Amino acid sequence: MAAYEEQQFYKNTLKAAADYSIEHQLLEGYQVELLFPAIRASQTDNIYYYEPSSGFLRPEKCIDVQLIAAKDNGAAIMLNNTVESISESKQDIRLSLQNGTTINAGKVIVATGPWIRNMLADTFEPILVCD
């Protein structure tokens, strides 16, 4: 992570590292370039936070793994569908899709991402913040 020392995210990261004994190093730009020659960092005023044991995730692979796990555990996967409404009765939950399909389910997980405003805007508009 590259940040200026006065940034709150930087401060929060350092606090978390201290609170949870996370091994880390604070590096200057030239030190980053020694570790990662593809990065040009020596010409900045940033302090670089580095966790030697950290890694990265490939989001597409994570989504694929989660979809496979959901299917293996009995979930019905329906991609590229738009839910127009959700209603609840004593027996089940009804989803009405844009293509005219209606689904009755015992449980529903709503994972709308940035489309949450379209789904819940009237009720939750005062507390939703989307940048």
> Which of 75, 127, 61 lies closest to 103 in space, CA to CA?
75
Q: Which CATH superfamily is domain 59-127 in?
A: FAD/NAD(P)-binding domain (3.50.50.60)
pLDDT, one tens digit for every residue, the chain (131 residues): 666 667 888 889 999 999 999 999 999 989 999 998 888 888 877 888 899 998 888 989 999 999 999 999 998 888 888 888 888 888 999 989 888 999 998 888 777 777 776 766 666 666 655 55
Please tell me the predicted confidence (pLDDT) of residue 14: 92
C-alpha 14/C-alpha 24 separation (Å) is: 9
Q: Where are the domains of the chain?
A: 2-50, 59-127
**pTM flag (> 0.75):** no
Beta strand segments in the chain, E: 2-3, 25-27, 47-50, 83-88, 93-97, 102-105
